[in-house]
Amino acid sequence: MSITILGIESSCDDTSAAIITDGVLRANLISSQDVHRQYGGVVPELASRAHQANIIPVVDGALKTAGIGIGEIDAVAFTQGPGLMGSLLVGVSFAKGLALANGLPMLAVNHLQGHVLSHFIRETHNAPLPQLPLLCLLVSGGHTQLIVVRSPHDMQLVGQTIDDAAGEAFDKCAKVMGLPYPGGPVIDRLAQEGNPKAFNFAKPAIAGLNYSFSGLKTSFLYTLRDQLRDNPNFIEDNKTNLCASLQATIIDILLRKLQRASEQYGVTNVAIAGGVSANSGLRQAVSQLGEKRGWNVYLPPLRYTTDNAAMIAIAGYYKHQRNEFAPLNIAPQARMEALL
């Protein structure tokens, strides 16, 4: 029997809907919110209002793109968390209403698990799935995690940041340089023109497989403060070098623990996922390291790196296989510790 899942993502500032039939993607629409740009970060209240305005056209658009009606949907998958409470609430409430009105079961998806499972989205029936076990470095705006994936139903968190996420390091450092939000893609672009060895920033010494990025952020701020005393144009004069050095430091921190996790768990199928996995320097560095270490490296297509509903629909598809349906009283969760 063929199974068609409608996926809905609304955890932060992108409203997205996707349709997946038997693991194969048929539509993935994303409406990004520009309202936050002028504030230099996501404004939660504005985000939920924009989700409310966008959600019906986006879901409608996904159904139209797939060429189906709501009658052909077997279950509604939605992001339960983690994310902004008000944003999540719009998606969860909409999914409930839709499911109730059409007699459909619901599937509650952990957003982080969705990012990992973006590697399982197929665009054609015979596209290959990644080999298992898979070690995934998940780098998003709010999370930095190392996850061993034994199957789409079996994920083990083996390391994570104890303070800031890698994406936060990009975004916060970009903000103090006066760059627009989100900072990651802007730093990525500017870094390509700069010298990654121009500045030395602090690297953490954290035991095991955990990460830390707050020391790097502080060291970046101190460099700016000290240099701005002598040269008020320091940031403007050194923008590309600052970006290149910051990005190289973040990548170095990320890869050290990734390599250690691969050795510790004996896993050589290695993937990256989440918004920061769009970073061109990180993609190149992981590929190079993988070549050296004999890894099977999986880089997600850019369209599945940042928030999208295709990853929520595929995660829902795997939950559906196990009949892991959500009760009607399910509530959004701003924080979610467990992966399943």
Q: Closest distance between ligand KG4 and the C-beta of residue 148, in Å?
A: 20
User: Could you tell me which residues are beta bridge partners of residue 147?
Assistant: 136, 157
Binding site for ligand KG4 (CB under 6 A): 12, 140-142, 167, 170-171, 182-185, 188, 274-276, 278-279, 306-307
Chain position carrying tokens 């997205």? 16
Contact call for residue 305 and Zn ion (CB under 5 A)? no
171-179, 248-256, 289-297, 304-312 -> range binding Zn ion (CB under 5 A) = 304-312
Q: Closest distance between ligand KG4 and the C-beta of residue 40, in Å?
A: 12
CA distances from 199 to 104, 189, 217, 224 (A): 56, 18, 13, 11
Contact call for residue 79 and Zn ion (CB under 5 A)? no
Stretch 95-134: interaction string toward Zn ion, x if CB under 5 A: ----------------------------------------
Residue 188: name its binding partner from ligand KG4, Zn ion, none (Cβ under 5 to 8 Å by kind).
Answer: ligand KG4
Residue 170: name its binding partner from Zn ion, ligand KG4, none (Cβ under 5 to 8 Å by kind).
Answer: ligand KG4
> What are 56's two structure tokens?
């019906």
Answer yes or no: are the C-beta atoms of 82 and 111 closer than 8 Å.
Answer: yes
CA distances from 91 to 9, 31, 304 (A): 7, 13, 19
Chain position carrying tokens 């992001």? 79
Number of neighbouring beta carbons within 10 Å of residue 198: 14
CA–CA separation, 63 vs 206, rounded Å?
47
Contact call for residue 140 and Zn ion (CB under 5 A)? yes
Chain position carrying tokens 């672009």? 189
Q: Closest distance between ligand KG4 and the C-beta of residue 2, in Å?
A: 30
Residues that bind Zn ion (CB under 5 A): 140, 307
